[in-house]
Structure 1
Amino acid sequence: MASRTYGACVLCQKAAVVKVMCRGMSAAAHPQSQVDFLKGEVHRKHPGVTNLKTLRLPEELQTAARSIIHRAQVTQLTDRAHRLTNLLWSRKRAVEDFTLRQKAVSLEKQLWEKAMETRGDIDEQALEDRVRKKVFSELRRTTYHWTPMKYDEEFGVVYMAARLAGGYAAVRRAINEIKKRDPSFAPQSLLDFGSGLGTVAWASHSCWGDTLKELVCVDSSGPMNILAERLLKGDDERAEPHIKQVYFRQFLPVSPKVQFDLVAAAFTLSELPNAKEREEAVFTLWRKTSSYLVLVENGTKEGHQMLMEARDTLLKKQEKTVHDPRPASVFAPCPHKLMCPKLTVEPTMPCNFQQMYQPLPLPGHHDRQTEKFSYLILTRTEPAEAETKGVDWARLIAPVQCRTRHVHCRLCCPDGQLQHLVVTARKQSRDVYRCARSSNWGDQLPIIQKVDDDVQSDSER
């Protein structure tokens, strides 16, 4: 019996030695796993992690919002807030005139061909009038009717109840990408186009409150500017604003030479009536950008496609007059400058991300909610070489699925392809495997292995 026990112990020791040797061989087989892409951080805090825990509004902002909502005493506030949220989520771009004309011509041609087959002795003028009426009727029935959002004080309070916390969460998560990946960035000036309730100013102040000296909020709605100012003062006209040097304007600064370190437009492009105005707005904002331009929209097909329009505008088109020759480069979320691969896959799916947050404590609001959004950050400065030296960083575009000894990751890669990668400690290295297990939707992942049998494109799947 003792000999059997001794033999078992010897076998266990041998197995342990073999396991250690295998680990050493694995590390030798993946010399890049020993590179300092961790930068001294533990795996769960590796440099690619930009996700935030459940966000909560700053205490001063939440207290002010509750005070304003309570004093406004809006009837059926909860129901109206839910309806507005659904309306904004389902909102689409206005149909372009050119598209509408094409659709009308095609429809008229079909109706004429059908009428000519069965018309008999019908008067041609009467037939033409009938076809025209049918075309107009069909266009009215099938065309999305876009109308601008108009805010008075009461509707602004409804918007506050519906979107203040979610909008803040999306912006705060987007700019956290800059905060995490460019720690030396210390902006002194901010321009927020379509500022609404001032969520961009609050989110930026939470990141760079020590350095920001000038915050310009531009919104064409006077009532929204008044509400934003009340929020800054804690709903007390005689109080000092919680954030100093915030200036409200209804129009953008005229001079093209005036630039801001950080320029943002959150949920604003969707409020512009056509592609031409969106393009002009994007060029104007880029002219005023000294370092970073941040664009945020709803995480829908419409929101994503508007951001891709803006991306193409700044990467592929040239302004007539160039005031700052430094070119635009994509900082986030795209790991490449190629066409978004999500636009080439059928059915088309938006590239979006999510952030957990605590809503305003109002009736009908749950303890925790999820904001789904799309964003785009462009910069005039090239990404630091040290950040990606020796490692390609891909973006996780779906939740990570952790399984026993392997992790399923769906990635947008630096080569412009969507990939499904099964990460294991044996094939990708222990460091990459542990980083993958600690990552989540929206984070970046250091991909060392090239595409092989363990990687499938989404189209192949």
Structure 2
Amino acid sequence: MASRSYGACVLCRKAAVVKMLCRGTSAAANPQSQVDFLKGEQHKKHPGVTNLKTLRLPEELQTAARSIIHRAQVPRLTDRSQSLTNYLWSRKRAVEDLTLRRKAVSLERELWEKAMEKKGDVDEQALEDRIRRKVLSELKRTTYHWTPMKFDEELGVVYMAARLAGGYAAVRRAMNEIKKRDPSFAPQSLLDFGSGLGTVVWASHSCWGDTLKEMVCVDSSGPMNILAERLLKGDDEIAEPHIKHVYFRQFLPVSPKVQFDLAVAAFTLSELPNGTEREEAVLTLWRKTSSYLVLVENGTKEGHQILMEARDTLLKKQEKTVHDTRPASVFAPCAHELVCPKLAHEPITPCNFQQLYQPLPLPGHNVQQTEKFSYLIVTRTEPGKAETEDVSWARLIAPVLRRTRHVHCRMCCPDGQLQHLVVTARKHSRDVYRCARSSDWGDQLPIVQKVDDDSQSDSK
């Protein structure tokens, strides 16, 4: 019995040595070893993790919002806030004039051709009038009727109940991308274009409250500026604002030389009436950006496409007068600066992400909700100092599916392609596998991209 026991122990020790050697060989063979990308962090907190746990509004903001809503006594608030949420989510861009004219010409030609096929004398003037009326009627029936949002105090309160917590969650999650990947960034000035209720101020203060010294909020709506200021003062006119050095304006600062460390437009570009105005707004914001420009929209096809328009404008549009020659580069979420592969496949699906949050404690609100949003962060690149650290990291664009000894990851890769990768410890190293299991939708994954037997192109 003793000899058998001794022999078993020897075999166990040999097996353990072989296992350790195999692990060492796997880590050495894989270029993305722990030394390269973990930076001393645990796998569940690796550098690519930018997701946040369930977000709550700052206590001072939540208390002020509840006070304002209670004092306003808006009738049918729950129903109206839900209707407004649905309306904003389903909203589309206004149809461009050129698109509308082309559609009208095509429809008019089609109707003339049908009319000419009929035999007999035709009163051309009467026919022309009839066709014109029919074209106008058809355009009215099939064209999306975009109208600008006009806020009074009551609608502002409804918007607060509907969107304050969700909007804060989306902006806070987008800003966490900068805070996590660029910990040395310490902004002193902020520009919020289309500031609304001031959620950007609160979100940025939660990230960089120690360094921010000037925050300029620009919104054309006077009632919304008043509500935002009431929120800052805790719904007490004579109180000091909880966040100081916040200034409200109805127009952007005129001077093109005035820049801000951080410029933000959250759910704002979709409120502009046409592509020309959106382009002008994006270029103006970029001129006023010294470090990072953050754009956030609803996680719909429309929201994503608006952001991709802005991306193209910043990367490709050449301005006549340039005050800051540092070029634009995409910081997040894109892993590349090529055409968005989500727009290149049919059917088109938006590139969006999600953030859990606690809504305002009002009647009819669930305990926990999910904000689905799209975002774009663009930064100024110093000549010869382009970011290289994360170029081989892919962005997870769908929930991670964790299975026994393997993980399904759908990613947007640095080569501009969508990829479905099945990550295993044997194929990709133990470190990469454990990082994949700890990652989720929206995080970056440290994998050298190459299609092998475990991966396949994702055309969805």
Q: Same fold (TM over 0.5)?
A: yes
Give the Cα separation in 1 of the matches to 2:42 and 2:5. Answer: 40
Tell me the equivalent position of 1:252.
Answer: 252
Tell me the equivalent position of 1:40.
Answer: 40
Report the CA distance shift for 1:113/1:23 in structure 2 as closer, same or farther (over 3 A): same
Tell me the equivalent position of 1:22.
Answer: 22
Tell me the equivalent position of 1:121.
Answer: 121
SS in 2 for 1:35: helix
Q: Which moved more, 1:390-399 or 1:92-101?
A: 390-399
Q: What is the number of residues matched between the two proteins?
A: 460
Tell me the equivalent position of 2:355.
Answer: 355
Give the Cα separation in 2 of the matches to 1:55 and 1:384. Answer: 38
- 1:48-447 correspondence runs (5 A): 48-381=48-381, 388-389=388-389, 392-447=392-447
The letter for the 2-side match of 1:204 is S
- After superposition, the C-alpha distances for 1:79-107 in whole angstroms (9 at most, x for unaligned) are 00000000000000000000000000111
The letter for the 1-side match of 2:165 is A
TM (norm. structure 1) is 0.96
SS in 1 for 2:86: helix
Give the Cα separation in 2 of the matches to 1:295 and 1:86. Answer: 21
Give the Cα separation in 2 of the matches to 1:130 and 1:391. Answer: 60
Give the Cα separation in 2 of the matches to 1:13 and 1:384. Answer: 53
Deviation beyond 4 Å, 4+ runs, structure 1: 1-14, 382-391
Report the CA distance shift for 1:266/1:441 in structure 2 as closer, same or farther (over 3 A): same
Aligned-residue identity in percent: 86
Q: Name stretches of at least 5 consecutive residues in structure 1 with no aligned partner.
A: none
Cα offset, 1:242, TM superposition? 0.2
Q: Which moved more, 1:228-237 or 1:127-136?
A: 127-136
Report the CA distance shift for 1:205/1:119 in structure 2 as closer, same or farther (over 3 A): farther
Cα offset, 1:335, TM superposition? 1.1
Report the CA distance shift for 1:132/1:390 in structure 2 as closer, same or farther (over 3 A): closer
Cα offset, 1:399, TM superposition? 0.6
Give the Cα separation in 2 of the matches to 1:387 and 1:438. Answer: 25
Give the Cα separation in 1 of the matches to 2:390 and 2:187. Answer: 30
- After superposition, the C-alpha distances for 1:109-154 in whole angstroms (9 at most, x for unaligned) are 1111111112532312111111111111110000000000000000
SS in 2 for 1:329: strand
Cα offset, 1:387, TM superposition? 7.3
Cα offset, 1:37, TM superposition? 1.1
Report the CA distance shift for 1:239/1:35 in structure 2 as closer, same or farther (over 3 A): same
Report the CA distance shift for 1:119/1:357 in structure 2 as closer, same or farther (over 3 A): farther
Give the Cα separation in 1 of the matches to 2:456 and 2:381. Answer: 33
Report the CA distance shift for 1:189/1:102 in structure 2 as closer, same or farther (over 3 A): same
The letter for the 1-side match of 2:435 is C
- After superposition, the C-alpha distances for 1:298-343 in whole angstroms (9 at most, x for unaligned) are 0000000000000000100111211111111101111111111110
Question: Is the CA contact (8 Å cut-off) linking 1:396 and 1:443 kept in structure 2?
Answer: yes
The letter for the 2-side match of 1:423 is V
Question: Is the CA contact (8 Å cut-off) linking 2:32 and 2:432 kept in structure 1?
Answer: no
Question: Is the CA contact (8 Å cut-off) linking 1:37 and 1:387 kept in structure 2?
Answer: no
The letter for the 2-side match of 1:193 is F
The letter for the 2-side match of 1:373 is F
SS in 2 for 1:419: strand
- After superposition, the C-alpha distances for 1:212-271 in whole angstroms (9 at most, x for unaligned) are 000000000000000000000000001000000000000000011110000000000000
Report the CA distance shift for 1:213/1:391 in structure 2 as closer, same or farther (over 3 A): closer
Cα offset, 1:388, TM superposition? 4.5
Question: Is the CA contact (8 Å cut-off) linking 2:328 and 2:378 kept in structure 1?
Answer: yes
Question: Is the CA contact (8 Å cut-off) linking 1:391 and 1:446 kept in structure 2?
Answer: no
Question: Is the CA contact (8 Å cut-off) linking 2:400 and 2:409 kept in structure 1?
Answer: yes
Give the Cα separation in 1 of the matches to 2:383 and 2:210. Answer: 24
TM (norm. structure 2) is 0.96
The letter for the 2-side match of 1:331 is F
Report the CA distance shift for 1:144/1:58 in structure 2 as closer, same or farther (over 3 A): same
Cα offset, 1:5, TM superposition? 6.6
Give the Cα separation in 2 of the matches to 1:383 and 1:202. Answer: 33
Q: Which moved more, 1:61-70 or 1:407-416?
A: 407-416
Give the Cα separation in 1 of the matches to 2:331 and 2:168. Answer: 21
Give the Cα separation in 1 of the matches to 2:353 and 2:130. Answer: 49
Cα offset, 1:457, TM superposition? 1.2
The letter for the 2-side match of 1:146 is W
Give the Cα separation in 2 of the matches to 1:426 and 1:53. Answer: 31
SS in 1 for 2:33: helix
